[in-house]
A and B are shown apart, each in its own frame.
Chain A
Amino acid sequence: MNYGPILFLGIFLSFALSWAGMVFLPQKQLGHQELAKPFDAEALYPTPHSGLAEQGRQVYRAEGCAACHTQQVRPQDVPQYGLRFTVAQDYLRDEPVQFGSLRLGPDLANIGARMPDAKWHLLHLYNPRITIEKSLMPQYKYLFEKRKIRGERSANALDLPKGFEVEEGFEVVPTDRADSLVAYMKSLRSDASLFESPLPTVPETDDTNAAPASAEAATPTNTNSPEK
């Protein structure tokens, strides 16, 4: 190993090996995934999000919500966070994918299904302690605008409960950033029944009792099932 080029070659080969295994192979396997046809719906999954929700995803990224929140439902998380565990298919349209690695707050992969109420989300973002006692989540007051009421109170002003009101004559309205973030929260749901991760009960069609032995026969319409 006193010969530089040979040392170099060894380093190159051993790293290239892991590159092939952990970058190239995943890309080959998952990089060309198609939209899937779920068992329980006609629309291809994942369905596209609204433009507002897509903007909200960028707010989520910029504010670093992923520093405290995961978007990964593991099998053991199913009772708390969703109907089924999430799989690569669920993230197909995400850019960037916000897996997260620390769960200081709850998982959000399915928050749209768990908490579809926009008002709740806005209050929670403005000051999480309004909705959750002793919440540790940071307040996102800067996503809101406190302004003087001119004439009528704005329709979208927050209804702040007792103890959290602002001064008389002022109101708090969400900025575009807050609105889009909430639209994003509502768009987060992973509840289509997929081949890799079906919902607990699969609709029983009459002719499936034939008990097919192979995967492809079992899922004739699922584009996500193993290649034929």
Chain B
Amino acid sequence: MKSDAKKSVRNDESEPKASQTAAPVFIFVVLALLLYWGALHIDQYGGGFRKEVYAPFKSVKEVAKLHPKKSGDDVFERGEKIYALACAGCHQPSGLGSPGVAPPVAGSEWVLTPGPGRALLIAYNGLTGPITVKGTEWNLAMLAMGQQLGLSDEDLAAVLTYIRGNAAWGNNASAVTVEQVKAHRPTMDSRTQPWTAEELLKIPETE
């Protein structure tokens, strides 16, 4: 080892130089492709270089659209209306609930199940008794909102689609179809009491 290093100390006159080989063509191809991708990326996600546009929005138009909601028959928007009318009083517009009033639906494991069954039954027939949501225990009672307001299958599908898929709350569960609601109709109609968490846990998550 030692003598090796000494050697290199001695043979030290020549300094690095580069050989004048032609550059490989592929590097230009890769560079061009990446530049093309980059232009597309900035076009799509750059928000037109406007200071009002933050991800996940893509343009000022999209941000502006959020504002005074246009009435439309979009399922999600319909769900939002119903939520504001029937649920937001307790669960808050933010979906975060409020201590002593109602637990959060944003990020709730009762809402983000693969199937909408449990949340649907709660929304229609109400809920009572102890329930654990996001690690916190609640013991309150929720009225049979759906039943009292006479929400239709379409309404229920819309409001559940809204709470399950509300990206602003971080929820991203699948949308709910009218057929899925119809499948639970018999259970919902025959039930006269609010549900308890224990009973609901017996219903498979996927339903």
Cβ-defined contact, B54 with A218, below 8 A: no
A4 at the interface (CB under 8 A from B): no
Stretch at the interface among B27-35, B87-95, B124-132: B87-95
CA distance A76 to B56 in the complex (A): 10
List residues of chain A with CB within 8 A of the CB of B63.
195-196, 215
CA distance A162 to B67 in the complex (A): 51
CA distance A13 to B55 in the complex (A): 31
- The residues in A between 166 and 205 inclusive whose CB is less than 8 angstroms from any CB of B are 195-202, 204-205
Stretch at the interface among A63-71, A82-90, A121-129: A82-90
Given contacts A79-B96, A79-B169, A83-B94, are A209 and B68 in contact (CB under 8 A)? yes
A78 at the interface (CB under 8 A from B): yes
Interface of B is mostly: loop
List residues of chain B with CB within 8 A of the CB of A58.
none
Cβ-defined contact, A215 with B61, below 8 A: yes
- The residues in B between 165 and 199 inclusive whose CB is less than 8 angstroms from any CB of A are 167-171
B50 at the interface (CB under 8 A from A): yes
List residues of chain B with CB within 8 A of the CB of A14.
none
CA distance A84 to B168 in the complex (A): 8
Q: Which of A78, A83, A88, A224 has the most CB of B within 10 A?
A: A78
Given contacts A198-B67, A209-B71, A215-B64, are A30 and B51 in contact (CB under 8 A)? yes
> Lowest 6 A-B CB distances belong to which pairs?
A208-B68, A215-B64, A79-B170, A201-B93, A79-B106, A79-B107
A sample of 26 cross-chain residue pairs with beta-carbon separation below 8 angstroms, ordered by A number, consists of A30-B51, A75-B55, A75-B56, A78-B106, A78-B169, A79-B104, A79-B171, A80-B107, A83-B94, A195-B63, A195-B67, A196-B63, A199-B93, A199-B94, A200-B168, A202-B66, A202-B67, A202-B69, A204-B69, A208-B67, A214-B64, A215-B52, A215-B61, A219-B67, A225-B52, A226-B50
